[in-house]
Amino acid sequence: MSEQTLSHTTTTDAGSIPDTDVLEQMYRLMVTTTLADNRSTQEAKAGRLQAAFYPVRGMEAVCAALGAVLTPQDRLVSTYRNLGDALAKGVTLRSIMAELYGRIDGTSKGKGGPMHLHDTAVGFMATTGIVGSGLPIAVGLALANQLDGGGAATVVTFGDAATSIGAYHEAMNFAALWKLPIVFICQNNQWGEHTPIAEYAPSVELAKRASAYSMPAERVDGFDALATMHAIETAVERARRNDGPTFLECVTYRLTGHSGTADFSYVPRDELGAAMQRDPAPTFRSWLIDRGLTTAERIEALDREAEAYVLDAFQFAENSPLPHEDELFTDVFADDTWVRSVK
């Protein structure tokens, strides 16, 4: 597909349609992400969050597709724009939100912040705040998996702008050279902070770059949850079979600013309007109902469930204590004796 077709397609019946419980799980994830994302942006704008929040609006379908395919044995390395990825992998919204508020019940005891979420128990291995730096780390995880005998996939997500940094190319080269069980998922939202993709990339079809590394690649409509899910499934299964890496470009559009508090006026209104027509959760909701795959009543129940889940998570985060000041010196090294002696 090309950018020109973006605003004219909707969720398709690409490939086989999963069972209702999978579809509902995907919808639940999308609507939860949207609601939590909107609320986080509000909290950031109101000054109640310590730092900016990096919204994932527009990428919900890709995240839901990841959630439908990945198991806890598969490992995911994500970026600072990670809310949907974390939920997809099974990280609880309570621990995510507590980390956003810098509280002790956060995934990192409040010491990492939203850019450094993790939950190794569910295979959510790391998130990084340096654009593109997660790719070589994921290569190492995939190598560990290959050395362990394989059977699981390592997935790394990153934005389109990450394809400009050297670490991206080095990681692609290592993965292809060593036939690692890894899936590179570019969540192409078509913006690198405040710069549109056409102004920093000579070819906006990023999937084409994989051919330089003799790596299988696919470019998929990232607003189309099913098409994306099938593409991820194919790539992840290839990795689980130890048949090597895949590059997957999921073309979406960022429906908000770079950060939850940043000015957003630089985004062309017509482009944004067209993309908003394809807002993932409402689009998927309509498709599910129109296709008779679920009922309006069931959707309403899922919406209420998601609202309650998000409300609970924010309340939990607000009520969670701040870390004790002593935490400053723990976790610098395994043993904090020397750290305390030098301060």
Q: Which residues bind other proteins (CB under 8 A)?
A: 75, 77, 106-113, 116, 118, 120, 125-126, 128, 130, 133, 135-145, 147-148, 166-167, 170-171, 173-174, 177, 330-335, 338-339, 341-342
Contacts of 314 (CB under 8 A, 6+ apart): 39, 43, 97
Cα torsion angle, 303, 304, 309, 314, sign: positive
Closest distance of CB 77 from other proteins, Å: 8
Q: Which of 76/229 has CB closer to other proteins?
A: 76
Q: Which of 82/108 has CB closer to other proteins?
A: 108
Closest distance of CB 277 from other proteins, Å: 38
Q: Which of 110/245 has CB closer to other proteins?
A: 110
Q: Which of 27/124 has CB closer to other proteins?
A: 124
Alpha carbon 274 to chain centroid, angstroms:
22
Contacts of 114 (CB under 8 A, 6+ apart): 51, 53, 54, 80, 82, 96, 99, 100
Q: Which of 46/147 has CB closer to other proteins?
A: 147
Residue 21 CB burial class (10 angstroms; 0-12, 13-18, ≥19): exposed
In contact, 9 and 224? CB cutoff 8 Å: yes
Q: Regarding beta strands 191-192 and 195-196, do their DSSP bridges make them parallel or antiparallel, or are they unpaired?
A: antiparallel
Closest distance of CB 97 from other proteins, Å: 15
Closest distance of CB 326 from other proteins, Å: 13
Closest distance of CB 148 from other proteins, Å: 8
Alpha carbon 166 to chain centroid, angstroms:
21
